[in-house]
Amino acid sequence: MNTGLHTSLQDNEKIVFKNLVTWSSPERYWEKRDRSWYLAYSLFFVLIISALAILGEFIMILGVLAFMFLWFAQAYIPPKIVDHSITTIGVRAFDNLYKWKEISNFWFSDKNGVKILHLEQPIEGSKVTKRISMIVDDEGKDQEIFEVLLKYTDYGRKEEVGFNFLSKIINGDYQEIDKYMKL
């Protein structure tokens, strides 16, 4: 006789929460840079700082120096490896859980042979959409992720996700849904 105020789960009962797909990847896109890259950008920043010094824009020089420091630090320091998972409740990425009702759509891009999964999350009461991007570097994992995500949310059309010239530079090439559909 069970007199406790709890419910026990039997092995044959359905569990609501379940990991459907998991993977690990770098937290951001990164390429190891050679000495010529650092030299070229150093020259570029020296030219900008020189022009600003001639114009007497000393506050702007401080801004360029701060940006230059961040630019070189980001290029030098390799990214951490993070875990991602798609669950029956939502997508877990970067120590956050994005529930299915918060995700409007998803799409993939390809940047120099690296697949990137993007989730679109509209911000309530605003026209702004938050984008969560995750690298998928396991070969074929993007197809598995596509098949699972399509059960919970829509694949974003190019126009719908605001893909344009700037998006292409930042995210790489938009991947059409046809690439993933098995006809």
Tens digit of each residue's pLDDT (9 = 90 or more) over 134-171: 999 877 889 999 999 999 999 988 888 888 888 888 88
Query: SS3 of 155, please?
Result: strand
Residue-level pLDDT at 113? 87
Give how far Cα 181 sits from Cα of 7, 31, 146, Å: 42, 31, 9
Residue-level pLDDT at 30? 83
In the numeric block, the tokens 């030219």 are attached to: 47
Query: SS3 of 61, please?
Result: helix
Select from 160, 41, 180, 159 the least CA-distant residue to 110.
180
Domain 19-26+80-179 = CATH 2.40.128: no
Q: Is the pLDDT of residue 6 over 90?
A: no
- pTM for the predicted model, two decimal places: 0.75
Higher-pLDDT residue of 161, 51:
51
Q: What's the pLDDT band for 7 if we cut at 50, 70, 90?
A: very low
Instruction: Write the CB contacts of 99 (distance below 8 Å, at least 6 apart in sequence).
Output: 89, 90
Spatial separation of the C-alpha atoms in residues 143 and 139, rounded to whole Å: 9
Q: Is the pLDDT of residue 75 over 60?
A: yes
In the numeric block, the tokens 């000495």 are attached to: 35
